Structure 1
């Protein structure tokens, strides 16, 4: 039963390998004939490259994202990233506003405690130490929100740079995982009888 299953897998591998070669040849033929095959792709030798004339440079991508967040992603044709970029800014802004609001509230309460008074009745049962510690807690979180803002701004600039840098990389089928059948003859087989063993060969090109 195992032999039959392996034979079927071997046959499917042969069919898929032949079909992949046919499709690859067909795609190259379409490109040579000048047909519309997608966004800015040209053939150089046996490898496909994106046409850099219609793409922005990585330096411009960084500058655009630094000036207007998401601009670099838009020029890289990564429209789906723009909501993520502004969603991140909104999230950081809400986190900052929340901690800043409570920091000011506990700061006022702590200053009132130093004068022997109560600023907010809802905190009258809290000890002075609890008020001071809570004030410091929200202050630290507010400062972290400021750091997170600049970190996120830098992150979206780096993202735009990487997309622009990778836009001209090889996009041919040769980068994919290649799985094809093969025949293996054991080295230890005797000279009188060498039983070939069917196998699947996996090639990963990076």
Structure 2
């Protein structure tokens, strides 16, 4: 009998402690929100949140980046990404120009060889076989096509980046990382039917 009395008292103590901690935490949170509101950043409890009124929506970020690359990143406050965006476009453009230039050279050479006009052949490739010329032409053509696909992929990537930045902008941006251990009560599914009593336990909370 004494074992059940002790268990009941322990359970009651844990419930009271949990309820008291919840009320205290709620009270502290309300007080901090009333006293520490800022124009662009609000402090809620110990956590910082950006004011959504100063930010753009993810949909607008995507549309802006689709129209003018880097615009969405700039409006998200990630201005340092704009040079990276245009650097990527320049890199893809140079890769395309290089392969397109040599594709035209070897395309012309392959057409001359097919026509049989030896006088019109490029003297720089006179020791190359016809098969080597054709294979080189196809090589640069494939690389040129990959550059076009790379341009489309990079344009889509910078749009996705702008969307993610805008979507994550209202998330917690503080450096707070806390681990909290507090008493709690676990109530099994069939506890109400009398098959199993509530079990006291420790609750581990990790705040990222």
- List, as ranges, runs of 4+ consecutive aligned residues in structure 1 with deviation greater than 6 Å: 28-31
TM-score by length of 2: 0.67
Report the structure number with the largest CA radius of gyration: 2
TM-score by length of 1: 0.67
| Paired residues of 1:61 and 1:161 also in contact (CA < 8 A) | yes
CA distances 1:146-167 after superposition (whole Å, capped 9, x unpaired): 0000000000000000000010
Which residue is 1:130 aligned to?
132
Unaligned runs of 5+ in 1: 1-24, 181-202
| Paired residues of 2:95 and 2:147 also in contact (CA < 8 A) | yes
Which residue is 1:142 aligned to?
144
Which residue is 2:190 aligned to?
none
| Paired residues of 1:31 and 1:43 also in contact (CA < 8 A) | no
Unaligned runs of 5+ in 2: 1-27, 181-204
**Aligned residue pairs, count:** 154
CA distances 1:7-59 after superposition (whole Å, capped 9, x unpaired): xxxxxxxxxxxxxxxxxx9xx969935567xxx21134554321100100000
Which residue is 1:193 aligned to?
none
Which residue is 1:32 aligned to?
35
Q: How does 1:58-137 map to 2 (within 5 A)?
A: 58-116=58-116, 117=118, 118-137=120-139
Q: Distance in 1 between matches of 2:57 and 2:170?
A: 10
Instruction: Tell me, yes or no, if structure 1 residue 154 matches structure 2 residue 130.
Output: no
Q: What displacement does 1:173 show?
A: 3.8
Q: CA RMSD in A?
A: 2.6
Q: Distance in 2 between matches of 1:33 and 1:48?
A: 10
